[in-house]
Each structure stands twice: as C-alpha cells, then as structure tokens.
Structure 1
Amino acid sequence: MLRILVLTISGFAAHSLSAQNVSTTTFGTPGLVDMPSAQSAPDAELSTSLSYAKGATRTTLSFQITPRLSGSFRYSGIEGIGSKGTLWDRSFDLRYRLVDEGKYRPAIAIGLQDFIGTGVYSGEYLVASKTLASTITVTGGIGWGRYGSHNGFANPLGGLSSGFNTRTTDFTRTGGIIESAKWFRGDAAFFGGIAWQATPKLTLKAEYSSDAYVQEVNSGALTRRSPYNFGLDYQIVKGIHLNASYLYGTEFGLGFTVKLNPKEPAVIGGAGKAPQPVRVRLPDNINNLGWTTIPNAQKNLRKATQDLLAKEGLALEAMSISSSTVTLRLRNERYLASAEAIGRTARILTRVMPDSVETFKIIPIARGIPLSEITLKRSDLEVLEHDGNGAALSYAAAKITDAANSSKELIFREDLYPKFTWGIGPYIRSSYFDPDSPIRAEVGVKASASYTITPGLVLSGEISKRAVGNIHTATRRSDSTIRRVRSDGALYNQAGDPAINDLTLSYHFRPGKNLYGRVTVGYLETMYGGVSTELLWKPVDSRLAIGLEANLLRQRDFNQLFGFQDYQVATGHLTAYWDMGKGFHSQLSVGRYLGGDLGGTLKLERTFKNGWRVGAYATITDIPFSDFGEGSFDKGLLFTVPLDHFVGSPTGRTFDSIIQPLSRDGGARVNVDGRLYGTVQNHHDKALKDSWGRFWR
C-alpha cells in the first residue's frame, strides 16, 4: 500500500514534539505506518501524499492550520467496496494536539478521521507520543471505529453513558454528513509503535495496528494475517520523501510525500532587485524653494518619478507637487505586498523630490479606484532606513486614511487612457474525482484582451481552444433532481471548443467615503451571463467589512459562444468579512444561490505575508441533503499560490485553485472577476501592518 511518511524525527527527550520533523501514515496524517501519533507537522506545512498497497490507493492533502490543529482531505480508491468493486471515496480529518511534550510528559492528541464523508474510514483516537532518546519515539493510543476493530474491548466511555457502547457500522453512500452520533462509540482498542531515526535521511518504524480492515477482508480485497506493520521513510531531497511498508503480514506498499511551507521561501535570499537607497538631505537645503521658480519643474519631476517607478515595475497614474507635499496615485502590478511597493516608491521620492518636499502622500490604485492614502514624513525615512527596528517605527509614524476624495487637484498622465493590452499563451486545466477517470487534464491555447477606457471602466474578454486532453471525454451525466445550474459541466466541456470564457464591461468606482462599488455586464463566466452589481463598506482602519451583491443572470449555451438557454435567475448575498488577526480571515454570506435556493456560506482562510492563502468553505441551503445528492452540501478547499515563492523575485502573479470534492447544484454561486473585498482589503491598515516588514525591502 503506497504510503506517505514526511521527514524524520529528531531532538532530545526534553524537546517538544511540536518542534520536531514528523513522519506521515499511509492515510497522509502524522503518525507511524497506519496508526496516528501525537506529533504535529510544523506550523503552516502543506503536504500532498500518495500511497498504494493492495486494497487501497490514497491521495491526501494535509495542512497544519495552527501549531496544534491540522486538517486533511483524502481521495481514496477502496477495493472490495461499492457496486463496481472499487469505491472512490472522499473524506476529511481533523486532529488537535491537546498537550505538548515535556521532559517527563508525552504529547497528547485527539483526532477524528473521515468525520465528513461516507464513513468508510471513520475512526476516532486519543494518542500519546514521547521521545525517549535523540533518535527514538514511542507512541501509544486508544481508538474507536476502524481504530477499535482489532482485539477490541468494551468502551471505557460506557461508564458515562450507555450510548457509547454501540456504534452503527454502515456507511453513508451519499457522504458529506457529519455523523457525530458515531464518535467515540462502540468497541475500543489499543494501538502503538516505535520510530527510529537510523540516519539523518532514514526513519524505520514498527507498529501494532488496531484496524482490522473488516470490510476489505470480508470482501476478499485483501488478506490480513497480522496486526504488525513495518515501514521506512527515506528523504530523497528536502521536501520529497519515498516510503515503503509491509502491511497486514501479506502486502507491500509504496508511497511518496511532497511538502512545502508557505512561511518558508523556496528560494533562500531571493533574487529581487535591490531598492533605491534613501537620499538624505543637507539641513541647509530643506527650506530652499528656488526650484519652484524653474520653468517646467513640476513636469520634469513627474517624468523623473515616472521613469524610476517604471524600472521598479510600478506605474505613476497622477501626481501633484507643492513646496512641501507630493501626492501621487500608484498602480502596483509587481509586488504582492502593498507595503513593499509603497516603500520603494517612498525611496524614489526621496531621490527625485526637491529638498523642501517633506510630506509624501502615496495612494495605491487597483482596478482604477483609490484604496487608501499613506502619508509619510521624509525626515522619518532618512532616520529609519538603517534602524534595526525601522519597519515597526516607520509603520507607527505613517498615517493611513481613506482616499475617496484623493483625486482632486492631481494631474493625470495623458498617455495612460485609453489603454489596450492583449496576450496569448498556453493553458492547462485539470479535473478530479470522476470515478471513471479520477484525474483528467487538457492543454490548449487562450487569448485575452483588455481595453481600459477610463480609470475603473474596462472592456475585457478571453477565448480558449483545446489542443489535447481528455476532460471533454467524460461521459457521466448529472443525476441531479433539482435545476442543473452546475452539474452539467461535462456538457459545457464537450461543446465549448472554442469557447468564450468571458466577455464583460466592468466599472469599479468610489461612491463615497468607506464605500466601494462595482458593476459588471456581459458573459460573466463559462456558464452564466448577465448583470452583477456590488457595494462594499470597508473603513480603512476596520477589521470588519460588509458587502452586498445582486445579480440578474441567464444560463449560457453549452457551446459557450453568444447564445443563452431559457433559464434565468436573480441571485444576491449579504456578506460580512472579518479579519480575525494572526493571518486568519472569516467570511459569512447569506442569500439566494443559482438554483434559487436560500442559505449561507462560511469561509475560513489563513493568509501569509508573501501572498499564500489556504482556506476552506461550506455552504448549507434549504435544499435537503437527499435532494442535493452525493456530498450532501457544497464544500471545498481554496488555495492562492504566489509565483514569487518559487522564483525568488517579485512577479505579482498568483495561481488560484478551488478543490471541490463534487460540483453539484445546491449552494452554487456565479463566478465574477473583480469582486471588491479581495481588491480592497490588502491595501488597508491591518493588511499593510501585517506586511510592513517588506516596506524596506
């Protein structure tokens, strides 16, 4: 069975397990071979693992959400279960480290396996792990469900309530339901094992497993002769591990794990260009206003600033200069951290502006709208550039305010609008979780164009043509009993070649202080066109934002050209956004979805200063689970991956991905480019503070 074990265990008995590197089980979670341990991966570690042995193929994506809490999503092909002989199963896990390891105290963790899914792999456990020597760690625990199926005994929790004594053994074929009535119920059993770091790259493991693999054995998919499993984990290079195991006394397994950490750059040191140094003024020149009498002085200053900003990948949109203050609108398409763009701009201003100009007002612009106004004192920059605490002190000295009325008296560049851009290049699409072919992909060519008429008003579109692939060959048809607003995706993939992916006219604007607006008209996405409107309230210094979106939509033809189907629907949502601190964000939306269903969506996300985002969402509406179909309700995982992380230099490019276990019709929303919160939030006080460490980069 291919299994996943990530990194070796190091440290001394007095060291905390949370600081150690950990191995991964065949289920893709921290542990021994099949059995879990109380160890946690390093905070924010993201790992993907693949394991195979007779009986199951498992692909697992795990994320260390906090130093104590981790979550996993698993896609498994389980032999001997299901009408076609193999069940392609989706499941989610959660585990929490209750106690850290001490000198004499083991680490203790509690876990729920397959707590959202069909329940085939469902099990709960309480486990302890202790480092006894610099290279040896022992683990022991008690489990329920699958973890209580070998040499089980009466549930010790039965003394609290007789309800803990029994557990239903059937699994939910539609999946997606949180079956808390099963948790920690039924027989319990002990498990345990030992891990030995034989070399810096090799870890050997042995365990006593309490999982009897009852369904797989009963179906004849595998033979289990022993509860003892053995495994090894070999680190090929940093972040890539090869695994081998001997399971059940009968089978060999193989696997590998790839891991990375958004908090740790893939390229050490970075390859980005160094910023301009601050030019320090001579005291005698600070009050010199002679420059104000020079013909075309302001025009020349604007041109010099524009040219230097362009070398940094930044664009000057507008500027005004007085004897003591310069104000400019800045468009940043290179630096994911807005604070880095602001810092580089401030340095350039020290080099260009006459010595009498003491106050810099920098207004970041996105989609044509001013997002905030950052006021800096030039004298602070001169003093703090080489200060060991320069980042914190310069943030404290900065003033961040709303920029709704900031365009007055600014002189705009005459060569900016209208502006036409276009591009053509390859694309790669992938599709997952089709039981007939769990992984599908296609490669093709796409062309896009954008015509910016005035600030905020943009006509844009994209077309694509498939070259090779098998996404369009999917033959499964939707079995949905409700309006098929998303589940006919296979028909769109087959007929849409070439396809107009989107063709819209959008307008972003500032209706007033703390307010942001958007109107988008046209072919909004591959399946829907119409009108989408949005209003966002977001004070610059507030963690809270409130958004209102209203859409009038019509479903597009399957060929994704200019035609529409008969179905039309009005949708809308009221959304509250909350910056929870420490990089965590939450979002709660309530309203009407594409199928006309009413409900709400909760999204939780962890963001990182370098542009990484990892999150999850779940939507519950008034559609009954039985009508929704497989999966019971809409849910998924969200990822934003910055290219900067891998190339070591600023590009401004990110790759967004949504992993949905299933694409069904309940809780579906229209996809619209340019929604406001994502545009606005990164340029406000809290986000700027979090990324201000890059101000001097």
Structure 2
Amino acid sequence: MATPFATAQNSEAPKREVITSAPTLNFYGLPGLIDTPSGEAMPDGQLALGVSHFGGQTRTTLSFQFSPRISASFRYIGIQDWNSDGFDTYRDRSFDFRYLLLKERQYRPAVSVGLQDFAGTGIYAGEYVVATKNFIRPFRLPGRAKVTAGLGWGRLGSSGSIGSLSGGDRPAFDPNGTGGELATDQWFRGPVSPFGGIEWQYSDRLGFKLEYSPDAYVAETSRGVFERDSRINFGVEYQWTNAIRLGAYYLYGSEIGVNAQIQFNPKTPATPFTLAGPRPIIVRPTREANPQSYDTAWAASQSAPMILRDVVEPELTEDGIRLESLQVTANRAEARVSSSRYANLAIVVGRTARALARQLPPSVEVFDIVLMNEGLALSTTTISRRDLETLEFRPDAANALLAASELSDAAPRAPEGAIDGTQAYPRFSYSLGPFLRPSYFDPDRPVRFDVGISAQAQYRFAPGWLASGEVRHRLAGNIDSGRPSNSVLPRVRTDALLYAQAADTTIENLFVSRQWKTGKNTYARVTAGYLEQFFGGVSAEFLWKPASSKLGLGVEANYVRQRDFDQQFGFQDYDVATGHISAYYDFGKGYYGQVDVGRYLAGDVGATFTVERQFANGWRVGGFFTLTDVSSEEFGEGSFDKGINITIPTSWFIGQPSRQTVSTTIRPVQRDGGARLSVSGRLYEQIRTGHITDLNADWGRVWE
C-alpha cells in the first residue's frame, strides 16, 4: 500500500518521467481535486474505493488502474429529495474511462483524457482533457504542490463556457431512460469550459485543496436538491493510514461535503507472505570420486519403483504436493504432481525437483515434472539434476535454471511402468461453513444479501472423475423482498426473487463430471446434473490449447432445463440448448482477453467480450460486456449485460500459501439478456496457470 505522499528516487527521472506522489481522489473516486479531475494516473495496478457525500448526494466509486496508462471506474450514486420523475432517492450506475496521454517530465505536466459516465443514463456524463504538474517546496513553502488545469464538456462544461470547440448540441439528461448505451454522439460536443485548481500537500499527513469547478448541477438545482452559489470549492484532507484518506470541504458556496478514500495495490499483500524454506538439495558425489554410486543395477529390481515412490511421496506430501504417479528408469524419472496449497506452480516444480534430487539414486540424471490439475496433464518441465546442483546459489539462479530447462506439452497419460501415488485416488473431501449471497443495486435497497450454512462434498473416484454437491440453508437475509421481475424475455435470471422465496434449504448444485486430455494439445469435459442455482442438464466442452501457445480455442454445448423454485430435484417447463465458441488469448504481463460467441440461456444470440488482469499473487480484476440480438428495450434497464469480475486469493489476507480464492461479479443490473450458464470446471481456467506463459511469469519463485 503506497502512501500518497511517498516518492521514489530515480537518478534518471529528470531525463524521463518525473517520479511523483500517488494522486489523491476527488468526489467521483478518480485522481483529482474535489469535484474535478486531475491529469495524473494512479500507480499501476492500484485499486481505489471512494465514498463521498454533499448536498444530499452520495457517490460510491470503485476504480482500477488496469495498466500504467488505462484506468476504469464503476460508480453507484444516490441523490436524495429528487422530487420529480417519481423518485424520492434517485439511484444510478455509471462507468468512467481514463487514458494517460503524457507522463509527467521535468518540464512537462501529466496529461489525461477521460470519459465520465459514458455507459449509464448520463446524469454525470462529461468528457475532459486535463493536465497536472508537481512542484516541490513551491515558493519555499514546505511540502509539495500540484497545479491542475483542464477543459471539460457535458457536466464539466455546464457553466462558464468559452465556446464550443466541437460544435453541435448535446442531448439533455433523461432520468427515465434505460441507460447503458454508449452515447458516442455526445462525446466532446456542446459547450466547453475551463476548470482547475491547486493541491498543497503540506506534510505526509495534511493536505489542502482549492478548485474552480464549472459544473452547474442543472438537474439537481432545478429539482431543489441543493443551491449552488459559487464555482469555488476548497477543503482539507488527512492521511489517516497508508491506505485511508479523509477529507472535509466547502462546496459551491452552500454545502459541506465529506470524502473517504481507500487505496491499495494487489501487488502488496495485506499480511506479509511467509513460506517455510525448502529442504536443501543433496549434491551427489562426482562420478570420478565415487563411480559405484552411479551403478544402475537397482533399476532391474521389480520393487524399485514402489520403494522410490515410498521415499519421495512423504517428502512431497509434507510440502503440500500430491504425487499422482512416479516412473523411474536408470537415468530418468517422471513425476506427475498437483497441489492444493500453492497457487504459484513454479514453487511446485522447484520443490518437486528438490525432493527427487534428495531421494532418487545418483544415476537418475533427468527429471520430467508434469504439473497436473484434476486429472489433466498441463505441462512438462524437464530439468537436469546437475543443473539443480550447480545453479542454486548463482546470483541469477532462477533465470539460469529456466534457460537450462525445457518446458513442453505433457503427454495425456503417465508412461508405462508408472506407479500411482498412494494418496492420488480415490479422494473424498468436504467442508462445512458459512455462505453469503449478495444482491446489488436494487433501487429500494442497494445491497441485499442472504447468509447461512453451506455443506459441500466432493468425491474423486478416478483421474478426471468428480462427483460434487452443495446444500445450503439460509438463516437470515432479505433477497426475498426484492423487486419482482418485469422482464419480457424468458426469466432465466430475473426470477431470483422467486427462488429466494420458495425455500430456505436448497441444493445449490449436484453433478458428476468427467474431464480428460484427449491429445497432446486438446482437452475435454462432460458434466451432468444440477449445474447451478437455476438450471440443470448436460454440459460438454472441448478445448485446444498447446502449453506454449498464447492462443486457446474452445467450444461448449449445453442442454439444460430450468429448475423448480425450491431448488430441490424438480424442473419447470422451460428448456434451452445453449453454447459458445470461445477464443482465449494471453497478451503477456498478466493481461488476458476472451471472446465467447453463441447462444445464451434466454435464446438470444451474440458475443461476450472479457479483458482481465492477473497479478503474480493470484489477484484477478477484469471487466466484460455482452451484446446480443436482444434490443435495449427488450433487455430493459441497463440496455446490455456488463460487469466487473474480482478474484482475491485468501493467501493475500492470511500470509500463508493457499489456492483458495474469494470471487464476486459486480453487475450494474442483472437481467435475462446475455445470461450464460454457470458450470463448474470450465477447462481454460483449470489449465492456463500450468502452461508455459504463466509458468515463465512465475518462475522467479522456483527456488522457494
């Protein structure tokens, strides 16, 4: 977590970009002054949550610095005393996009261009170009100052206009619209106004802001939400902790406002990560010094494979690694391994190699380590034992070992003569604990949720075979008092209220699946049963994904029927054939893209586009949108499906290795158009972390 006042030292900074303090956030949860933006970008990967309130208006914004130049935000607002158009408290959702055009240099400001509320009803719609320059000890005063100036359209051009650079009229805000569509005909159109201000960071804790804001708040003042008497805003902010910043302000000559900012970076764990050190590698004597130790007569013994398995397996088990199979010849060994402890599979490779080097006879010179996941062979890492012994303490040991090793596709099955691990199959696991099911953005109550007890059980009776089920009992909650559906489409998602009302004890899912590797680069899955909360049936999937390729191609076909509202064993009359052709691409440096084209649960046809960033520690943040042949009027509020996916590894919180994660999807509104079947065990998610691009990215931890 970076304190906004912290700076980094870089002797080359004057020649390139200036290393500046991390930006503070405005009332829109964006880098800025008070109610206007600034030209800076947050640190790469930064997540920020801003909550602000003034004049009866509350804004909650989640922002993410997706790349060094690109950031995106999702905002939820509530405006009290909205005494027209049938609203008491008007609630709305919106998205923002910012691009850093120029990084700050010694004599040049940072410059950004932004789209505000570009995919909502447009209440906050506006565009801007803005520049910010940092000054250390301005006029010999203590601390640091930032000077910001920009031009704004839309909300930011609603008073004090200097003209219309782009020409044309700008449509007025319509609070009764469905929202969600890209209003490209509005962007950078209509009156344009200057804005700007100064931020003075007096110390690492205390800061002051002064700004000129041209936002006339036409919709709010015309409805009596508050009175606007000035364009000048000022305030004071206090950095409470490294992550939390609080502020109080006087706005528009009439209102007191407050703002709370929380910023953190997924790259920096909440709890420092600790990992027990690996066992040392036992270095063999040289062949010249002890030729007898390299004798291979042991390989002729029929009991040798089992004896070797029984000494290798306990060491791997203690390290949290499961030995699926082991095949050993006089000079070469293949170990197929999986782990429920380590999300970073380079650690699995490194510790498996150490165990083999410690336990196998000296004549075994080459190790083939095959990473496995749920019976699927992901990739093979071939390591020379001599390299393990000689490179461990090199200054650049990880890169040296990677250069000397070979990463390749894994054979679908273990070679002839392999001995299964004693803990491989069958395996039974279960868990009992609490669950929380959230529901977002109901206008009557923005956040609803159910809580209760969940019992899950899984039985893996052979490689690739899984029987799994979950039963839930709701103890408390209010999802069952939400809004009834008004959808004109088949109600494949919007009848969630009826499902919540029907029963407290439900079968969340109950299915059998079989997945296997059909060839060197291909995988398959078949799943049958009660697949998710609303649907049951049969799902089949086929995936082509070479271990060394950035591209993956898949096809999925499903035939499902809608479940009874009580989520027991019965079905309703509605059934549908649904499926998709998918393309997956790894852009490198943790960026992924996915396109799914096909037929959705409501029978509509279209495509879903997803982009995601994955961090080395397992954090994943991404966004998606779906466009189908359903019109915006048929879809209803929001016009089309879109949302944000966030996955947080539990290791980030507990500081111990774990493959468990907590995931959520934030949708502005859940409708029936663009709804895809939710089925466990989709193939690409299972295999990508064990393929070569991800393994290379994680390789720095191979010696841990």
Equivalent residue, structure 2, for 1:35:
36
Quick one: which of 359, 363, 369 aligns to 2:376? 369
Change (3 A) 1:10 1:217: farther
The one-letter code matched in structure 1 to 2:69 is: R
Change (3 A) 1:453 1:293: closer
Q: Distance in 2 between matches of 1:8 and 1:36?
A: 18
1:104 aligns with 2:107: yes
SS in 1 for 2:554: strand
The one-letter code matched in structure 2 to 1:77 is: G
Change (3 A) 1:499 1:303: same
The one-letter code matched in structure 2 to 1:266 is: A
SS in 1 for 2:460: strand
Residues 306 and 419 in structure 2, CA contact (< 8 A), matched pair in contact too:
no
Q: Distance in 2 between matches of 1:165 and 1:664?
A: 35
Q: Distance in 2 between matches of 1:20 and 1:104?
A: 17
Change (3 A) 1:48 1:82: farther
Q: Deviations over 1:561-611 (max 9, x none)?
A: 111000000001000111111211111111110011110111111111111
Equivalent residue, structure 1, for 2:388:
381
Equivalent residue, structure 2, for 1:234:
238
Change (3 A) 1:463 1:379: same
The one-letter code matched in structure 1 to 2:487 is: S
User: Unaligned regions of 5+ residues in structure 1, if any?
Assistant: 158-163
1:154 aligns with 2:158: no
Q: Deviations over 1:452-499 (max 9, x none)?
A: 11111111100001112222222x111111111111111112224111
Following superposition, the deviation at residue 6 of structure 1 comes to: 8.3
The one-letter code matched in structure 1 to 2:129 is: L
Deviates more, 1:402-411 or 1:483-492: 402-411
Residues 580 and 586 in structure 1, CA contact (< 8 A), matched pair in contact too:
yes
Q: Distance in 1 between matches of 2:465 and 2:8?
A: 58
1:7 aligns with 2:4: yes
1:280 aligns with 2:283: yes
Following superposition, the deviation at residue 414 of structure 1 comes to: 4.9
The one-letter code matched in structure 2 to 1:195 is: E
Equivalent residue, structure 1, for 2:628:
621
Quick one: which of 136, 139, 149 aligns to 2:145? 136
Q: Distance in 1 between matches of 2:321 and 2:558?
A: 34
1:188 aligns with 2:192: yes
Q: Deviations over 1:617-670 (max 9, x none)?
A: 110000111111011000110111111122222011111111111110111111
* Paired residue total: 685
Q: Distance in 2 between matches of 1:193 and 1:11?
A: 25
Residues 192 and 207 in structure 1, CA contact (< 8 A), matched pair in contact too:
yes
Equivalent residue, structure 1, for 2:140:
none
1:221 aligns with 2:228: no
1:562 aligns with 2:569: yes
Equivalent residue, structure 2, for 1:124:
127
1:460 aligns with 2:468: yes
The one-letter code matched in structure 1 to 2:198 is: I
Quick one: which of 279, 300, 304 aligns to 2:311? 304
Q: Distance in 1 between matches of 2:206 and 2:49?
A: 20
SS in 2 for 1:316: strand
1:450 aligns with 2:458: yes
Q: Distance in 1 between matches of 2:130 and 2:503?
A: 52
The one-letter code matched in structure 1 to 2:274 is: A
The one-letter code matched in structure 1 to 2:4 is: L
Equivalent residue, structure 1, for 2:79:
78
Q: Distance in 2 between matches of 1:252 and 1:146?
A: 20
Q: Distance in 2 between matches of 1:624 and 1:461?
A: 37
Q: Distance in 1 between matches of 2:247 and 2:355?
A: 52
Q: Deviations over 1:385-433 (max 9, x none)?
A: 1112111121222222222344132111355432222111111222210
SS in 2 for 1:165: coil
Quick one: which of 251, 254, 261 aligns to 2:258? 254
Q: How does 1:200-219 map to 2 (within 5 A)?
A: 200-219=204-223
Equivalent residue, structure 2, for 1:550:
557
1:198 aligns with 2:207: no
Q: Deviations over 1:271-298 (max 9, x none)?
A: 2111122221110346233544778443
Equivalent residue, structure 1, for 2:652:
645
SS in 2 for 1:275: coil
The one-letter code matched in structure 1 to 2:458 is: S
1:317 aligns with 2:327: no
Q: Distance in 1 between matches of 2:194 and 2:566?
A: 57
SS in 1 for 2:91: strand
Q: Distance in 2 between matches of 1:248 and 1:9?
A: 31
Deviates more, 1:325-334 or 1:112-121: 325-334
Q: How does 1:403-418 map to 2 (within 5 A)?
A: 403-409=410-416, 410-414=418-422, 416-418=424-426
Q: Deviations over 1:305-340 (max 9, x none)?
A: 111111111111111111111111101111111111
Q: Distance in 1 between matches of 2:356 and 2:471?
A: 41
Residues 154 and 165 in structure 1, CA contact (< 8 A), matched pair in contact too:
no
The one-letter code matched in structure 2 to 1:137 is: K
SS in 1 for 2:294: coil
SS in 2 for 1:232: strand
Residues 18 and 106 in structure 2, CA contact (< 8 A), matched pair in contact too:
no
Equivalent residue, structure 2, for 1:161:
none
Q: Distance in 2 between matches of 1:6 and 1:561?
A: 51
Following superposition, the deviation at residue 193 of structure 1 comes to: 0.5
Residues 7 and 19 in structure 2, CA contact (< 8 A), matched pair in contact too:
no
Q: Distance in 2 between matches of 1:583 and 1:295?
A: 46
The one-letter code matched in structure 2 to 1:456 is: G
SS in 2 for 1:346: helix
Following superposition, the deviation at residue 448 of structure 1 comes to: 0.6
1:487 aligns with 2:525: no
Q: Deviations over 1:41-73 (max 9, x none)?
A: 000001112111223111100000111111100
Change (3 A) 1:518 1:11: closer
Q: Distance in 2 between matches of 1:563 and 1:580?
A: 44
Change (3 A) 1:568 1:663: same
Change (3 A) 1:126 1:18: farther
SS in 1 for 2:400: helix
The one-letter code matched in structure 2 to 1:112 is: L
Q: Distance in 1 between matches of 2:255 and 2:565?
A: 47
Equivalent residue, structure 2, for 1:160:
none
Quick one: which of 658, 665, 668 aligns to 1:661? 668
Residues 531 and 552 in structure 1, CA contact (< 8 A), matched pair in contact too:
yes
Change (3 A) 1:294 1:514: closer
Quick one: which of 330, 348, 355 aligns to 2:337? 330
Following superposition, the deviation at residue 372 of structure 1 comes to: 1.5
Q: Distance in 2 between matches of 1:395 and 1:10?
A: 34
SS in 2 for 1:310: helix
Residues 6 and 22 in structure 1, CA contact (< 8 A), matched pair in contact too:
no
Deviates more, 1:278-287 or 1:290-299: 290-299
Equivalent residue, structure 1, for 2:448:
440
Residues 18 and 41 in structure 1, CA contact (< 8 A), matched pair in contact too:
no
SS in 2 for 1:487: coil
The one-letter code matched in structure 2 to 1:202 is: L
Change (3 A) 1:32 1:295: same
Quick one: which of 61, 66, 91 aligns to 2:94? 91
SS in 2 for 1:115: coil
Change (3 A) 1:224 1:529: same
Change (3 A) 1:415 1:394: closer
Q: Deviations over 1:161-184 (max 9, x none)?
A: xxx232111336211000010011
Pairwise CA RMSD of aligned residues?
A: 1.8
Equivalent residue, structure 2, for 1:530:
537
Q: Deviations over 1:342-379 (max 9, x none)?
A: 11111111111111111111111111121122111111
Following superposition, the deviation at residue 11 of structure 1 comes to: 7.9
User: Unaligned regions of 5+ residues in structure 2, if any?
Assistant: 138-143
Residues 7 and 233 in structure 1, CA contact (< 8 A), matched pair in contact too:
no
Residues 376 and 412 in structure 2, CA contact (< 8 A), matched pair in contact too:
no
